[in-house]
Amino acid sequence: MREESWFRPYVRQYGWRFAMVIALSLLTVLAASSLMFTSGFLISKSALRPENILLVYVPVVLVRTFGISRAVIHYVERLASHDAILRILSKMRVRLYRMLEPQALFIRSRYRTGDVLGVLADDIEYLQNVYLRTVFPTVVALVMYVTVVAVVGWFDIGFAFLMGLYLFVLVFVLPGVSLWITHSRHEQMKQQRSRLYRKLTDAVLGMGDWMISGRAAQFAAAYEVDEQRMAAIERSLSRLARVRMFIAQCIVGLAVVSMAYWSGQQAADGSFAVTLIAAFTLVVFPLMDAFLPVSEAIEKIPQYRDSLARLNEMRDGEGDLGVDPSTTSLSLLAGQDAHIQLTDVCYRYPSSERAVSDVADLQASNWTLEDIQLDLPQGKRVAIIGRSGAGKSTLLKLVQGALVPNNGEVLINGAPAHHYGEQIASVVSVLNQRPHLFDTTVANNIRLGRRDASDEEIAVVAQQVKLGQLIASLPAGYATPMLETGQRFSGGERQRIALARVLLQNTPVVILDEPTVGLDPRTERDLLQTMFHALQGKSLLWITHHLVGVEHMDEVIFIEDGRIAMRGTHAELMEREPRYAKLYRLDRPQIHT
């Protein structure tokens, strides 16, 4: 089973540690039971006023021994169990990163940031609890169940059956009923928590829009309502836990009374000394401590299942996209030619995965993109124009292989784009609206394009994007820190640094995803000229919402409601499409600002 891949390797690798933890847990219970048994015997023996202190000397020593050993063994057991689990947790986290990092493009297209944060924050943490709070306590309880029934059965088979019945309720009945009752409520809480993650993430990313629109109070009120709903579910689970614990304690009370009555009968019949009545009665309490955690341990199974389902869903993300591991050899070497073809491409999002950028009203067909044709041989420059929500972002994801078309084909050198998987980064690079710049040196930020690039190569691409003089004027040159998010530089300069990354990456295809949004007209004009000059010979797919600079493109495609409404060269569209000519004239004055 797929789920076993998150457990079985660690069981094999750390099996001896697990065995040691379980053995130490059993020794802890044994030491606690021996302490209470000996204490009960010592109390009873002392109440009989022994003629000589030596008659109770051995029980006194044993009480001290078991009291110290219980604490020591319990400490060693905690140390060993947490050492083993933290080792597993570190490997799980590394494995999760290695699983997600190559699929960053796919995950970004298919999941909200809040969902991914939910996996990182909760799911791996839940999986460590599988061992600490479920596996170890359950195994210890089962071993002690058999041991207690066997020991009591050695004295009295009938009473062993009664004690076995009590323990059966604690170990099997209560956990099963608790799991059955809480399953649906855990599902509700999971959905509510996921909703809160998404809402909070969207709020943080769009806080400016909430403030500008004057709806901050409305968002806060709606968020509080959702929090209260989740709190109500949590309170109901807490009530169930309290009821379950009350029932369990009642069973423990019955076991104590039954043991006291049975041991009294045994002493009256002369089967053992009267001093053992208190010993047998008190030993019930530490023994029950081994059985009470089972209900809580089993109750957490739905959480583990949910966590495993999410992790496996993300792990199999490439498989869902149709990636065949045998085709990963299709990758191109950086700088090699690439021919992109889209033929009769149609795509619609499932209702639960509609892209945030393409949520505009669609045609009755409900297609996000429909009947898209595109031929992009090496070196061709194409501008994709359309209003927000027209389908431009979805088109990009299809070209990058992050989405698979419902109909038609997206091919790169004759192979489906989604077959390239993580190696699509050697074919296509992207310059988007807000490239992230890290709080490190200028050189390190540029070097992200190719980590093994030399200082000379970094200087060359910096000159190509017209940053050479600026960087030379900085206090430490290329070693100058850029500050958080690149605050040392202006918006246009940050885009030029990102462009230098793209040049260093040296892929045959470059996607320009509205890289000039938010820049003033003069900066926009200068940046476009730099990009078109520096990217000579590369295939360009330029996504934009206005027409400044489109005269430099070989073809202009206007997408509206998921379909191609106009296409042709700039000159052709100016001549035959009055609507295009009007839009261009509205944008053109900005060129000379």
AA identity, residue 16:
W
Are 486 and 445 in contact, with CB atoms under 8 Å apart? yes
Residue 554 inside a domain? The answer is no
Beta partners for residue 37, in sequence order: none
Angle at 122 between CA 118 and CA 123, to 5 degrees: 95
Contact between 31 and 66 (Cβ < 8 Å): yes
Last residue of a domain, one of 296, 320, 344: 320
- Burial track 532-542 (b if 16+ CB lie within 10 A, e otherwise): bebbeebbbbb
Q: Is position 532 within any domain?
A: no
Claim to verify: residue 22 and residue 149 sit in the same structural domain: yes
Is 105 within a domain?
yes
pLDDT tens-digit series, residues 249-308: 999 999 999 999 999 999 998 888 898 999 999 999 999 988 988 888 887 777 777 777
Same domain, 316 and 437: no
User: Domain check: are 69 and 214 in the same one?
Assistant: yes
Closest by CA position to 403, among listed 186, 56, 111: 111
Burial class (CB in 10 A: 0-12, 13-18, 19+), 409: middle
Question: Is residue 419 situated within a structural domain?
Answer: no
Of the three residues 264, 294, 320, the one that is the final residue of a domain is: 320
For 359, other C-beta atoms within 10 Å of its C-beta total 12
Query: Residue 278 belongs to what domain range?
Result: 2-320
Q: How many domains does the chain have?
A: 2
> CA 539, 545, 547 angle in degrees (round to 5)?
75
Among 285, 320, 355, identify where a domain stops. 320
Residues 445 and 306 in one domain: no
pLDDT tens-digit map of 160-213? 999 999 999 999 998 888 888 877 777 777 677 777 766 666 666 555 556 666
Whether 586 maps to a domain, the answer reads: no
Sheet holding 369-376, edge to edge: 369-376, 340-347, 407-412, 415-416
Residue 335 within a domain = no
The DSSP bridge partners found for residue 544 are 385
CATH of the domain at 492: 3.40.50.300
Which CATH number belongs to the domain containing residue 89 in this structure? 1.20.1560.10
Is 166 a member of any domain? yes
Residues 6+ apart with CB under 8 A from 325: none
Q: Does some domain include residue 389?
A: no
From first to last of the 593 residues of the chain, give the pLDDT tens digit: 344 467 777 888 888 999 999 999 999 999 999 999 999 999 998 888 766 677 788 889 999 999 999 999 999 999 999 998 888 888 877 777 666 655 555 555 555 555 565 566 566 667 777 888 888 999 999 999 999 999 999 989 999 999 999 999 999 998 888 888 877 777 777 677 777 766 666 666 555 556 666 666 777 777 777 778 878 887 888 888 889 899 999 999 999 999 999 999 999 988 888 989 999 999 999 999 889 888 888 877 777 777 777 677 665 554 444 444 444 445 454 447 889 999 999 988 765 444 444 434 334 347 888 888 999 999 999 999 888 777 888 888 888 887 888 899 999 988 888 888 767 878 888 888 777 777 788 888 888 888 888 888 888 888 888 888 888 888 888 888 876 656 667 778 888 888 888 888 888 999 988 887 777 778 888 888 888 888 888 999 998 877 888 888 999 999 888 888 899 999 999 999 888 888 888 776 544 43
